[in-house]
Structures are given as structure tokens and as C-alpha cells.
Structure 1
Amino acid sequence: MRRVLVTRAREDAERTAEELRRRGFAPLIAPVLEIAATGAPIPAENFDAVLATSARAIQFSGEGLAASSAPFFVVGAKTAAALSARGAQVEASAPDVAALTLLLGARFPAPARFLYLAGHDHKDDLESFLRAHGHAATVVETYEARAAAALREEARAALAAGEIDAALHYSARSASIFLALADAAGVSAALRARVTHFALSEDVARVLRAAGCANVRVAAAPDQASLLAALEAQ
């Protein structure tokens, strides 16, 4: 049975591990990121709409969100479900940021005021769209992904013993942190030479290749289904 290292944050890693077991793999969870609330307050102001592109932005938003009467425009079913769990109504949900900008463009043809709930390391796509169309956006970073202090001992031992066949990587930042932790743990040689690395995107793969990883595979599309399909095809 092939042993696969899962480096994403624990909650996500556990879901991935369950799927890997279902497919006949032996997962080993070794989170390199810890998701934590920033404690940033939600402004008690009037906004035309509240935006969110991840469920975590809602989950870590604290109690101030309940006071908002503005409609919610979000990305993803998980984000909508997180709002529903808090008793909020979602005006519209889009499959990705590009689709969300189309919805916002149709709904708000004139400049409007938005509250955008996000993580600390979020992309600028949505903010760029809002600025380009004359909107005002107040960004509140409700959570952050903190780097782990060290590689888990079980993962270090498995890598040192050559027991890891593959590793899954979901972001360029987490891949970079993982490589640094492996260096600190003294297992970088095994990691680079013997492990096959599966990257969610070319951006992630670029970090791995630059670090000298010999075997890097890239998912056909930037989603977990494609990543696991690449793993199964190997």
C-alpha cells in the first residue's frame, strides 16, 4: 500500500486522508500550517454587500458578523453553508471569483461599499475588480495560516526511513514551508530524491522543482479531484 504524506492544515488534511483511504492509499498527516483567527473586528458600518470567498473567512469572523444586514455574495457551496449555519441568508453564490465579479458587475453598476472577509494570504483578484469599477472595499482578514514550528516526528521518521512514496502539495507557500521544515529535520535528501511530489498547480510545482525535487507531477486542474487522479495514475 502506497504511503502518502498530506501536508495541508489539519481539518482539510483529515478529509483528504479519508478520501485517500477510500482509494486504497495509506495517508500520513503532517500539517505544515495551522489555521487561526486573527481576532480582527467586523466594522459596525453600513455596507451595500458582504463578500467572502472561503468558508473559513466566515467561520473565523467572530460575533460582529451577526449585526450586518447587508446581503452576502460568496464563492462556493461551503462558504454559503457556513453562513447558513450562522443563520445568515446568502444573496448569491458563485463557483469562483471570476463568476462572482460578473454577478457583482450586474448587481452593482454604480460605485458601492463592500465588506470583504478574507484570509491573511488572499489573492488580489476580487479587490482589483472592485477598485477598477470604482467600488470601495473594506477588507477584514479574519484568519491566518501560521507556519508549523517543526515537522511532526512521525513524518520525519517515515521520510528518514524511506517509507513515504508520495506527498501532496496544495499551495506554493505550504510547499515552501514543508521543504524548510524537512531541511531543519535533516530529511531533505530523502524528500528530494525518493518521494514523488504531486502539486495542485504549476505555481506549486515551481517551488518544488526549484528546491531540487526530482519527481514532480502537476494536477490537470487546480482541484483535489485532479490531484488525486494524478496520484492514482502514477
Structure 2
Amino acid sequence: MLRFEPVPFRGDDDADYDAVMLTSANALRAVDLATSPLLRLPLFAVGAHTADAARAAGFDKVIVAKGDAVSLRKLVLARVKAGELDASATLLYLAGADLSRDLAGELGERGLSVVTHTTYRMAPVAGFPREVSDAFMANRITAVLHYSRRSAQAFLDTVRADGIEISALALPQCCISAAVAAVLHDAGATKVVVAARPDENALLEALSRTLRPRPE
């Protein structure tokens, strides 16, 4: 699967940022901002989970999008249109090494300057622990959660390498978005469930619905 690995973050104390932007709570896991002047800036968070992580890190002014990069881009541009953010503002984007969308480029085309700092990467893990593979084979796992296309593909690669693809894909696959679900559909999974919104709360709600006993 994928393992979280921090990437050293060296903040530039002389940099003049107008706001911070996050598309994943993981971006804050590897950085210590306890005394950073960045905490005084407004922070644009992709969704509620990321917003909670930002507040826990010490950000006071957190502005929350609807759970995906498209809504985050619209939110930033709406603040520009409302005059709450300068049209040529500089945003610090704390992000992972693998991005599914060029959010910085899209905002750059609208006149904003986005400085991207990579603070973590998700590295592939070779194979499941033996007890996990055995649990799949013994039908002791009831469902699988998928948060990204990349982690879904890593899951498929792992179950194929471990020889448990049939058992694993027979389970309900709960996906955070239709784009993630497409990876599982293409692999032959038939019990694919998509969250109502692209955020963790909606994904867990989808899992709950999937596991709820059906009335006889």
C-alpha cells in the first residue's frame, strides 16, 4: 500500500505570503509551525478534515472548501472577487509529492502566485503483512476504504502480487470519489460504493450504509 514519509520543510522567514493553502491534512503532519508567522495568515483548506488539522496546528482563520481541489480553487477565486484576497496575492501551498491536479498552475493563470512546498510523500509498501493477507483469504475483512486513485492502484498491485485479488475485490470497495471508483471498476470490482461528497465523513457514511444489515 502507501506509507507516509515526511519531507524536510524549511520555511523562508523572509517570504511574504498572503495565505496558506492545503489539499491534505498530511501536509501538516511533517511540519512544526508552533512559532511560525504563517499561523497568522488565512488558510484555505480543501475540506473539513483538513480544516480540523489546520486549527489543531494553530491556524485561527481557516476557510473551508467542499472537499475537492475544484471547490478549493473556486473558493480562493471567490475571495479574490469579493476583495478579501488581493488579485495578485502570493499563496503558500503545502502539499504532497504526488498531486492529482495542478492547482497552483490553475490559480497562476488567474493572476495569483502560488509557491508549492512539498512536505510529505506517500511511498509504496511492498506487500501486506501476512496476517492481513490471511484475513482477506479467511473473509475476516468486511470492506476496503479508498482515499485516492494512487492508493487504490497500490491496493490493486498489492493484492495481485499477494495472490488474493479475487478475495479482495469480492468485498465492498468504498471510494471517496467517482474518479477513485473508476480504478476499482476497471479492475473488475462489482461492489463499488462512492461517497456522497469527496471527504472522509462522507466516505465513512458510505461505509456505514454498506455494512448496515438489510431488512429481510
Normalised by the length of structure 2, the TM-score is 0.77
- Which whole-Å CA distance do the structure 2 matches of 1:170 and 1:87 have between them? 25
Letter of the 1:36 counterpart = E
- Which whole-Å CA distance do the structure 2 matches of 1:111 and 1:142 have between them? 25
Match of 1:46 in 2: 16
Unaligned stretches of 5+ residues in structure 2: 67-71
Match of 1:37 in 2: 6
Does 2:163 align with 1:181? no
Does 2:92 align with 1:115? yes
The Cα shift of 1:140 comes to 0.4
**3-state SS in 2 of match to 1:36:** strand
Letter of the 2:180 counterpart = V
The Cα shift of 1:146 comes to 1.6
Match of 1:167 in 2: 144
Does 2:201 align with 1:201? no
Task: Please say if residues 153 and 183 of structure 2, whose CA atoms lie closer than 8 Å, have aligned partners that are also in contact.
Answer: yes
Normalised by the length of structure 1, the TM-score is 0.72
Cα deviation, 1:144-202, whole Å, max 9, x if unaligned, reads 1122221122210012223334322222211111111111111112223x323222222
- Which whole-Å CA distance do the structure 1 matches of 2:57 and 2:75 have between them? 24
Cα deviation, 1:124-157, whole Å, max 9, x if unaligned, reads 3642442122121110011111222211222100
**3-state SS in 1 of match to 2:126:** coil
Task: Please say if residues 19 and 44 of structure 2, whose CA atoms lie closer than 8 Å, have aligned partners that are also in contact.
Answer: no
RMSD (Å), alpha carbons:
2.8
Match of 2:168 in 1: 191
When structure 1 is superposed on structure 2, of 181-190 and 52-61 the one drifting more is 52-61
Identity of aligned residues (%): 30
The Cα shift of 1:210 comes to 1.5
Task: Please say if residues 198 and 230 of structure 1, whose CA atoms lie closer than 8 Å, have aligned partners that are also in contact.
Answer: no
Does 2:210 align with 1:231? yes
When structure 1 is superposed on structure 2, of 78-87 and 105-114 the one drifting more is 78-87
**3-state SS in 2 of match to 1:146:** strand
Task: Please say if residues 39 and 60 of structure 2, whose CA atoms lie closer than 8 Å, have aligned partners that are also in contact.
Answer: no
Match of 2:78 in 1: 102
The Cα shift of 1:104 comes to 4.0
- Which whole-Å CA distance do the structure 2 matches of 1:218 and 1:55 have between them? 21
When structure 1 is superposed on structure 2, of 221-230 and 207-216 the one drifting more is 221-230
- Which whole-Å CA distance do the structure 2 matches of 1:67 and 1:209 have between them? 45
**3-state SS in 2 of match to 1:150:** coil
Cα deviation, 1:51-82, whole Å, max 9, x if unaligned, reads 22333222322459714476232214554554
**3-state SS in 2 of match to 1:115:** strand
Unaligned stretches of 5+ residues in structure 1: 1-31
Change (3 A) 1:65 1:184: farther
**3-state SS in 2 of match to 1:74:** strand
Letter of the 1:220 counterpart = A
**3-state SS in 2 of match to 1:141:** strand
Change (3 A) 1:169 1:134: same
Letter of the 2:176 counterpart = L
